[in-house]
Amino acid sequence: MKKKIHPKNYRPVVFKDINNEKMIICKSTVITKDFIHINGNEYPLYKMEISSYSHPFFTGEKRFLGKTGPAEKFKKKYEKYKKF
C-alpha cells in the first residue's frame, strides 16, 4: 500500500439513523461534534436523517412526508400576485 495517502482524521465513526436508532460503524473522515460510547470505546457520532435501514426504497414502505410538496407551497405563497 502507498504511504501517506489517507487523511489524518480517517478513523472509525458511528453513523446513527435517528429514525430508528440503528447504528453503523465504519471508517470515515466526517467531522463530528458528538461522541458515543460502545463496548467501552468512544467513537465520534454522526447523526443521519435517513439510511438504508429507513429509506423507503430499501424498506419497501411508502411514507408521506407532508400533505403538500414544495411546488404546492410555492404556488400558495405567490398566488396573490397573479396578474390576469
Q: At 37, which amino acid appears?
A: H
pLDDT for the residue numbered 22: 86
pLDDT for the residue numbered 26: 93
This prediction has a pTM of 0.59
Measured CA to CA, the distance from residue 10 to residue 27 in angstroms comes to: 6
Give the number of residues written for the chain: 84
- Backbone phi, then psi, for 82, in 5-degree steps? -60, 140
Please say if the pLDDT value at position 60 is more than 70: no
Taking all residues of the chain, what is their mean pLDDT, rounded to a whole number? 80
Given strand 41-48, what is the order of strands in its sheet? 23-28, 11-17, 41-48, 34-38
Please say if the pLDDT value at position 40 is more than 70: yes
Q: Report, in this order, helix, strand and coil percent for the chain, each rounded to 5.
A: 20, 30, 50
pLDDT for the residue numbered 65: 57
